[in-house]
Amino acid sequence: MLTRKIHGLLVDVSLFTEPLGFVRVLEWIFSIFAFATCGGYKGATTILVSCQGAINKTATAVFAYPFRLNTALFSAPNPTRCNNTWTDTYLVGDFSSSAQFFVAVAVLAFLYCIAALVLYVGYMHVYRSNSKIPLIDFVVTIIGAFLWLVSTSAWAKALTDIKISTGLSIVPEIAACQLPGSTCLFASVTSMGGLNVSVVFGLLNMILWGGNAWFVYKETTLHNPPNTASQHPGIYPTPSGI
């Protein structure tokens, strides 16, 4: 066992080379990437508008996490708002619940991994001497894997809808573009590659937490029942003297 003494605390650094500790480190790192790639996104969708007093002017709607698209307002194509024919236009959809659920799971996983690693490294003797702690760790790991599955699935579905709501299909939904003498063309939308990566990290976290459940299970009394059977010396009949 490789140990280091830090501020009077005996730290077992060999845990980082064992599956139990190593996978927790990976979970900690991947949870950071999951909430960073989702929560840090900011983008915009742009259309080209030709109307009264404007030719090929841009109208842009900016959106970001938590993706309440119904609050993202398109800017007016020109100062006269197409001779006052341009009305306030918003994107469609509110995907904040799925996005916030995904980020919340990632943040909770991040915090739990920190707590678990501190326990593994500094207090492994307590972890293995108290049968309840590994069992709690096992239950939390199973729940974590399930939450990653549910939140990633919900976020992946929401991301698909976000792409539709900010893509080519928005043009027919803009009332000002349907007026006589007005035309609108879809121009561009910010790349969502980072959001695609967040879904991948969500799936990887689900796999890591599901796989790590086995290593945590091996630390519980469910896998290694305590040996409570007492050993009794054999009783033999006393030989009778002759």
Q: Show the 3-state SS of 144-212.
A: HHHHHHHHHHHHHHHHHHHHHHCCHHHHHHCHHHHCCCCEEEEEEECCCHHHHHHHHHHHHHHHHHHHH
What is the reported pLDDT for 176? 85
d(CA 50, CA 40): 33
Give the model confidence (pLDDT) of 58-88 as tens digits.
999 999 999 999 999 999 888 888 888 888 8
What band does 17 get if pLDDT is binned at 50, 70 and 90? low
| Residues forming a β-bridge with 42 | 64
Residues 6+ apart with CB under 8 A from 117: 21, 24, 25, 28
Torsion of CA 191, 195, 196, 201, to 10 degrees: 150
Residues 6+ apart with CB under 8 A from 144: 109, 112, 209
What band does 226 get if pLDDT is binned at 50, 70 and 90? low
d(CA 111, CA 128): 22
Give the model confidence (pLDDT) of 29-46 as tens digits.
999 999 999 999 999 999
What band does 225 get if pLDDT is binned at 50, 70 and 90? confident
What is the reported pLDDT for 214? 93
Give the model confidence (pLDDT) of 136-147 as tens digits.
999 999 999 999
User: pTM, whole model, 2 decimals?
Assistant: 0.84
What is the reported pLDDT for 232? 45
**Averaged pLDDT, 167-173:** 89
**Averaged pLDDT, 189-213:** 96
d(CA 164, CA 92): 10
What band does 132 get if pLDDT is binned at 50, 70 and 90? very high
In the chain, what are the domain boundaries? Answer: 14-219
Q: What sections of 13-75 are H helices per DSSP?
A: 19-39
